[in-house]
Each structure stands twice: as C-alpha cells, then as structure tokens.
C-alpha cells in the first residue's frame, strides 16, 4: 500500500532578503524575482499558522520526528526573539509523540556571541556557508557593494566553533580551486560535516566550467577530494555526498533529494506563509515555485496537490527514459530535480551534471570494489564499473532483469550499480 504524501521537514524562510549578494544565488541572481513580493521577515502570525499546520500534520501522520530548517535569504536578519518564540511555540504545540529538530543555515556574517548563546540554548544546529579560502570564497560570495565576505564569515565560524556549536560546513564547488588546497583548509576548520554542492544550473544556464560532452570537471574535482579524504585517517569530518554514494552502492539507506531513490518529504514555507516546492527550482525561471497554497488557508497535505510539489516529491523515483537505462540509476536517481530542467521539455531529462555524477559514482564504486573482502567479491560476482561502461549502457537498447531496491523485481536496460557492487 502506497503511503500518503507527507512532510517531515519544513524549510522555514525566516527572511526573504540577504546582506550578501552571492553571484550564483538562485534566490536573487538566476532569474526569479518573487522575493520582492514577500515580507522581509516572517511574522509571528505566520509562524503560528505554520506551527499549527505542522502540529496537525504530525498527529494525522503519526510522525515520530519532524524538522524545521531556518533559511533565507539570511535568517539572522530576523530578530533573536523570533527564534525563541518559534522554538518554544513549536515545542508547546506539537505533541509529545513527535521529536522536533531545529536547524539553521546562515552565511555567518552576523553570528556574534549573543547569537551563539541563543542557538545553543534553543538547541538549534548550525550550518555555515563558506566556499573555502579567501580567494575562493570571495570570487562568488560578495556583499551588495561587491566586497568579499570572507573575513566576516570566518569570524562567525570561529565564534560558532568557540561557542560549542560544532557547526557544519556548506561549500559550493569552484572547479578552478585546487581541491588539495580546499581539503587542507577544511581539515583545519574541523567541521562536523561538509556538504559539497554543485552550482545550481539548468540546460539553459549551464554550470561554470562545463565544456564539451567528453569532460566532467566536477567529477574530477570531487574524485580528487574523495582520494584525499578517504586516505587521511586523521580527517574527522564527514563528507555527506560521499557517504550517500557509498550507502547507495551498498543498498544502505542514507539519501538526500539529490542522490538516491526514495520520496522527498520537504516543503518550503515562504515569509508570507506560501507553501512551495524546494526553493532551488527558482533557477528554472520567474515564478516557477509559486503555488496557490498558504499555511494561513491550506493544510500541508493539501499542498501535495500542486503538480510541481508532487513532481519534486517523487523526483528520485520517477526518472526519464535515459536515466532508467543507466547502470547507476539506483544510486544517482536522476540527480537533483532543478538540474534536470530544460525549457522545451521541463524535467524529462538527465541532470545537467549527468557526466559528472556518472564518473564520480563509477570512481567511488571502483574504490569500493577494491576495498571489499575477496570472499565478498567472489561470492557476489562483483565487477568494477568504468565511466565508459556506464555511458555505453545509456546508448544501448538491450534490456535485462535485475532486482531493484526494497526487493522489487523489475526490468532495466542493464544490471544496476547496486548489483555490480554486490549489494
């Protein structure tokens, strides 16, 4: 029996404005201007409406866990009192049967000691956006006067680390940066985890550094980062993208909305209460994420009637025909939905990063095969997968049966990467 659509993570757009003006930002600089029509910060009235909708949703679906991710814009443009009110109100309204988690993603420039004390007191997990050493970070992450943000961000990071917040690190990849230099920089920061993000792109807005169809610069960059990370026993930080790929190859749960099969239980709540699909879809064009649903008049369940919210929910399960022929379909799952967009046919495409994802996953699969015990390799008929093999499979029409995730028998064009990994 198919489970009813549900939400287990609300991305709360606390502020619609930002004190930085990062050139790659999908909110402000990639073609969507809907932020101009939003309140600068979320009101308590809207926060109350959202919390009430979440409380009812958790009871209806008997959710054991629900997460709020404070986001922006820059969320710390909202006053500290807002966060105290929101967290205390949510804990009071949502039933004891549901455990709540709170996260915040900030650019770190406003993160002073008082903010750190408040985050620690309220139990809000902190992530900070910082793209690397000063020259790398300040290439893209600038303020509204075009000045680099590095010194202010790094000061915020240091305060968060000294204040016991153990922040996570979010980095957008710049393929012109030396991965060894970035690795050493991250290693010195000692973050709890690192999320390396591909720059948001579509077929009309291709990724920086992409050239002809034979290259995969983001895979090359990430594979070098993987080599450094996996070979350094003293590196204590997690790189979640690599973990998710390894888990996918082994058939272990541990996915995101950009990697791995499964449904996405995420809704975005704008400062005016509008309920929307994942906000990165703004990169697809003006007004792409707008819906008719709002927490002031709609339940979270009703929001799944929106076609794009429904498409995002199933985007890692329902793939285009090209992706369904791919050897790594169960690991890649088509990539991030916004990165599949093309103006003439919408999302019925592989990711614009298809080559990069394929080469990256094949490289990690070969490391995994070389690492597995010999008896596992012999018993499961494990073979290493090359980038050339994976590309050839997409072009081939030949079909063969295999076993898909969760034991479902299906017919794919070729054995999946999971069967090749011996999972």
Q: What is the pLDDT of residues 109-121, one digit of tens each?
A: 999 999 999 999 9
pLDDT number for residue 423: 34
Out of 212-216, 228-232, 310-314, pick the least confident: 212-216
Say whether pLDDT at 143 is over 70. Answer: yes
Q: Say if residue 32 is in the same domain as residue 112.
A: yes
Q: Is there a single domain that holds both residue 263 and residue 409? A: no
Using a pLDDT cut of 90, give the percent of the chain over it. 83
Whole-Å CA distances, 95 to 12, 122, 130, 197, 302: 20, 18, 36, 35, 21
Does the pLDDT value for residue 169 go beyond 50? yes
For residues 326 and 274, membership in a common domain is answered with no
Q: Tell me, yes or no, whether 196 lies in a domain.
A: yes
Q: Looking at residues 198-218, what average pLDDT do you find?
A: 91
**CATH number of the structural domain spanning residue 165:** 3.20.20.70
Alpha carbons 304 and 288: distance in angstroms, whole number: 16
**In whole angstroms, what separates CA 190 from the centre of its chain?**
21
172 phi and psi angles, rounded to 5 deg: -85, 130
- Per-residue burial over 9-27, b if 16 or more Cβ lie within 10 Å, else e, is bbbbbbbbbbbbbbebbbb
Whether 227 and 277 share a structural domain: yes
Any idea which residue has 């369940």 for tokens?
Answer: 301
Same domain, 122 and 249: yes
Pair 333, 272 in one domain: no
The boundaries of the domain holding residue 250 are 9-313
Give the pLDDT score at 417.
43
Q: Per-residue pLDDT for 61 more than 60? A: yes
pLDDT at 403 over 50: no
Confirm if 285 and 269 have CB atoms less than 8 A apart: no
The partner residues of 127 in beta bridges, in order of sequence, read 105, 168
> What pLDDT digit, counting tens, does each position of 78-94 carry?
999 999 999 999 999 99
Query: Residues 252-262: pLDDT tens digits?
Result: 877 788 999 99
Q: Determine the Cα–Cα distance for residues 249 and 260; give it in Å rounded to an integer.
A: 9
pLDDT band at 374 (very low <50, low <70, confident <90, very high): confident
In-domain check, residue 49: yes
3-state DSSP percent of the chain in helix, strand and coil, to 5: 40, 15, 45
Measured distance CA(48)–CA(320) in Å, rounded: 40
Percent residues over pLDDT 70 in the chain: 92
Determine the Cα–Cα distance for residues 208 and 256; give it in Å rounded to an integer. 23
Indicate left, alpha or beta for 62 from its phi (over 0: left) and psi (-120 to 50: alpha): left
As a whole number, the mean pLDDT across the chain is: 91
* Residue pLDDT, tens place only, 49-58: 999 999 999 9
Residue 159 lies in a domain: yes
Looking at the structure, tell me whether residues 229 and 364 fall in a common domain: no
Among 201, 187, 194, 182, residue whose Cα is nearest residue 129: 194
Residue 398: predicted pLDDT: 52
Q: CB neighbours of 337 closer than 8 A, spacing ≥ 6?
A: 257, 278, 281, 311, 312, 315, 347
Q: Considering the domain boundaries, does residue 204 fall inside one?
A: yes
Q: Which of 313, 342, 375 is the last residue of a domain?
A: 313
pLDDT at 399 over 70: no
* Domain-embedded: residue 4: no
| CA–CA distance, 251 with 166 (Å, rounded to integer) | 30
Residues 361 and 266 placed together within one structural domain of the fold: no
- Final residue of a domain: which of 313, 333, 368? 313
Contact 154, 132 (CB under 8 A): no
Question: 218 and 355: one domain?
Answer: no
Q: For position 246, what pLDDT does the model report?
A: 94
Beta-carbon contacts of 318 under 8 Å, excluding residues fewer than 6 positions away, are 311
Q: Is residue 1 part of a domain?
A: no
Q: Are residues 267 and 325 in the same domain?
A: no
Does residue 3 belong to any structural domain of this protein? no
Asked if residue 2 belongs to a domain, the reply is: no
Both tokens of 68, joined, read 């709020």
> Is pLDDT of 279 > 80?
yes
Task: Please give the residue that has the higher pLDDT: either 18 or 394.
Answer: 18
Q: Token pair for residue 301?
A: 């369940």
Residue 387 has pLDDT above 70, yes or no: yes
Q: What is the mean pLDDT of residues 1-16?
A: 91
Same domain, 118 and 218: yes
Q: Are residues 96 and 231 in the same domain?
A: yes
Q: How many domains does the chain have?
A: 2
Domain boundary pick from 313, 333, 365? 313
């Amino acid at each position: 029996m198919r489970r009813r659509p549900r939400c287990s993570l609300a991305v709360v757009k606390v502020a619609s404005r930002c004190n930085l003006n990062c050139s790659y930002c999908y909110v402000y600089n990639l073609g969507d201007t809907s932020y101009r029509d939003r309140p600068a910060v979320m009101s308590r009235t809207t926060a109350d409406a959202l919390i009430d909708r979440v409380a009812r949703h958790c009871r209806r679906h008997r959710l054991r866990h629900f997460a709020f991710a404070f986001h922006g814009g820059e969320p710390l443009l909202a006053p500290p009192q807002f966060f105290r009110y929101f967290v205390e109100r949510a804990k009071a309204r949502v039933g004891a049967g549901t455990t709540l988690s709170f996260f915040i993603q900030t650019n770190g420039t406003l993160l002073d000691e008082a903010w750190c004390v408040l985050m620690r007191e309220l139990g809000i997990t902190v992530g900070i956006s910082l793209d690397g050493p000063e020259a790398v970070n300040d290439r893209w992450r600038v303020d509204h006067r075009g000045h680099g943000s590095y010194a202010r961000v790094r000061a915020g990071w240091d305060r968060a680390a000294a204040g016991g917040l153990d922040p996570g690190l979010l980095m957008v990849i710049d393929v012109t940066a030396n991965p060894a230099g970035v690795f050493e920089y991250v290693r010195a920061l000692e973050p709890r985890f690192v999320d390396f993000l591909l720059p948001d792109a579509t077929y009309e807005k291709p990724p920086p550094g992409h050239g002809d169809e034979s290259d995969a610069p983001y895979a090359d960059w990430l594979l070098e980062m993987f080599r450094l990370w996996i070979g350094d026993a003293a590196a204590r930080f997690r790189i979640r993208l690599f973990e998710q790929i390894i888990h996918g190859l082994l058939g272990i749960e541990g996915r995101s909305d950009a990697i791995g099969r499964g449904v996405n239980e995420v809704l975005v709540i704008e400062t005016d209460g509008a309920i929307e699909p994942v906000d990165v879809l703004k990169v697809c064009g003006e007004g792409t994420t707008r819906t008719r649903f709002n927490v002031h008049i709609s339940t979270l369940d009703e929001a799944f009637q929106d076609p794009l919210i429904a498409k995002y929910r199933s985007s890692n399960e329902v793939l285009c025909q090209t992706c369904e022929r791919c050897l790594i379909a169960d690991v890649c799952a088509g990539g991030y939905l916004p990165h599949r967009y093309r103006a003439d046919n919408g999302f019925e495409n592989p990711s614009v990063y298809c080559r990069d994802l394929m080469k990256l996953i094949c490289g990690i699969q070969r490391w995994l095969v070389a690492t597995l015990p010999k008896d596992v390799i012999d018993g499961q008929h494990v073979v290493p997968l090359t980038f050339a093999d994976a590309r050839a499979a997409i072009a081939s029409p030949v079909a063969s049966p295999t076993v898909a995730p969760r034991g479902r028998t299906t017919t794919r064009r070729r054995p999946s990467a999971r069967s090749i990994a011996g999972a």
